[in-house]
Amino acid sequence: MKVLSVVGARPQFVKLAPVDHVLSESGHEHVIVHTGQHYDRLLSRAFFEDLAIGQPAVNLGVGSAGHAAQTAGILAGLDSVLDDQRPDWVLVYGDTNSTLGGALAATQHGLRLAHLEAGLRSFDRRMPEERNRIVADHLADLLLAPSAAGVANLASEGLARRTVLVGDVMIDALVRARAMIAAEPGQYLPAFARAGPYLVATIHRAETTDDPDRLAATLSALAVCPLRVRLLAHPRLADQARRLGLPLSAGSLEASDPLPYPSMIATMAASVGLVTDSGGLQKEALLLGVPCTTLRARTEWPETLQRGWNVLVPDPCDLAAAVSRPRPPGEPPQPYGDGHAAARVVAELAGRLGEKREG
């Protein structure tokens, strides 16, 4: 079987890693196409190195642009690649513009399309990620859902026949990262994490960064948190703050560059809590047993809200109270699978090769 993965943004490299490992261990051919949506070393190459992912066969080099131009660049770039490669499956991941471009291009070339992390919904179509995941789900021949809620969302949109619950490949990646950290404790924890209790924060969604008032209110709220807050600044946030003259280090708030994946996991695991507007981190916090505060009105990972492990805080004014809440008692629920999702993904792809495609 020949599988062609289209990836381009940081969280997709994490999802790609376990799939790449299982495909190569089972003797299948795996062609990785990097769209170039993310190009900074810390957002891209570091992940391929740390997670031992095979080299991309092609990098389309689309870089940064508006949603339409970025997606168009991916579509144009994939044309000759898909013609040359003619894979048995095109596999797209999550909800970025690279997912959208990969999904459209695959179907335009008449190729079988599978969507990994299918069925998630924030029910907020203002988010580009929500639009991207809806389109990818409706185009795909095979919908690989990470959770029961994802399966239910797909059923309610008439997509049950194409859906299979595989669990979440990010758990596979996390299990491996925890083993790496356990084998060499100390190797992955940055110096700031050894200097007393702290919260970890990430902010990069357009809804937060591109609204100057909201960004200013969010940074002010982080600066008055009752604990040190280490803000791992995505380049989009750093650019925007510079442009608006907003300090990223003030009061409790201290900013630094994004961390490589194993260090990020070690840093979150040792923290008092996470403050984020990201999707994937909400879930990783739950798995690590770290309380999460999400600076959004809705989440596509509703299971994280159980017993207050994750709390939605749409108004930054409520942040200090939310991060001061007591840690939920006991261990967190584990609704996202057993760390063997990638093996199920590969088995589904291989098992369906002989099937006639639906119209």
Q: Which is nearer to ligand UD1, 187 or 256 (CB)?
A: 256
Q: Which is nearer to ligand UD1, 13 or 23 (CB)?
A: 13
Cβ contact 207:277 at 8 Å: yes
* Nearest to 102, CA basis, from 130, 136, 125: 136
Q: Give me the residue label for tokens 């584990």.
A: 334
Count of CB atoms within 10 A of residue 9's CB? Answer: 19
Count of CB atoms within 10 A of residue 355's CB? Answer: 10
- What residues from 274 to 313 belong to the interface with ligand UD1 (CB under 6 A)? 278
Quick check: 168 binds ligand UD1 (CB under 6 A)?
Answer: no
**Adjacency order of strands within the sheet including 228-232:** 253-256, 228-232, 198-202, 273-276, 292-294, 310-312
Candidates 77, 101, 119, 128; binder of ligand UD1 (CB under 6 A) is 128
Q: Which is nearer to ligand UD1, 122 or 278 (CB)?
A: 278
- What residues from 71 to 100 belong to the interface with ligand UD1 (CB under 6 A)? 95-97
Quick check: 18 binds ligand UD1 (CB under 6 A)?
Answer: no
CA distance 40 to 311: 31
Quick check: 262 binds ligand UD1 (CB under 6 A)?
Answer: no
Quick check: 319 binds ligand UD1 (CB under 6 A)?
Answer: no
Quick check: 10 binds ligand UD1 (CB under 6 A)?
Answer: yes
* Nearest to 93, CA basis, from 61, 112, 124, 116: 116
Cβ contact 140:317 at 8 Å: no
Q: Which is nearer to ligand UD1, 275 or 346 (CB)?
A: 275
Q: Which is nearer to ligand UD1, 39 or 192 (CB)?
A: 39
Cβ contact 238:245 at 8 Å: no
- DSSP alpha helix (H) spans, the chain: 10-25, 45-50, 67-85, 97-108, 128-139, 148-156, 169-183, 206-209, 212-223, 235-244, 261-269, 280-288, 319-323, 341-351
Minimum Å gap between C-beta 159 and ligand UD1 is 22
CA distance 69 to 261: 29
Number of chain residues interacting with ligand UD1 (CB under 6 A): 20
Residue-wise DSSP of 305-333: GGGGSEEE--SGGGHHHHHTSPPPSSPPP
Residue-level length of the chain:
359
Distant-in-sequence, close-in-space partners of 72: CB < 8 Å, separation ≥ 6: none
Candidates 24, 26, 29, 40; binder of ligand UD1 (CB under 6 A) is 40
Quick check: 101 binds ligand UD1 (CB under 6 A)?
Answer: no
Minimum Å gap between C-beta 131 and ligand UD1 is 9
Candidates 4, 6, 9, 145; binder of ligand UD1 (CB under 6 A) is 9
Quick check: 192 binds ligand UD1 (CB under 6 A)?
Answer: no
* Nearest to 277, CA basis, from 214, 340, 225: 214
Minimum Å gap between C-beta 307 and ligand UD1 is 26
Quick check: 26 binds ligand UD1 (CB under 6 A)?
Answer: no
Residues forming a β-bridge with 116 = 93, 144
In this chain, which stretch among 31-39, 51-59, 266-274, 328-336 interacts with ligand UD1, using CB under 6 A? 31-39
Minimum Å gap between C-beta 204 and ligand UD1 is 5
Minimum Å gap between C-beta 231 and ligand UD1 is 15
Minimum Å gap between C-beta 278 and ligand UD1 is 6
Minimum Å gap between C-beta 96 and ligand UD1 is 3
Minimum Å gap between C-beta 87 and ligand UD1 is 23
Minimum Å gap between C-beta 40 and ligand UD1 is 4
Quick check: 129 binds ligand UD1 (CB under 6 A)?
Answer: yes
- What residues from 224 to 253 belong to the interface with ligand UD1 (CB under 6 A)? 234-236, 239
Residues at the contact surface with ligand UD1, assessed by CB under 6 A: 9-11, 37-40, 43, 64, 95-97, 128-129, 204, 234-236, 239, 278
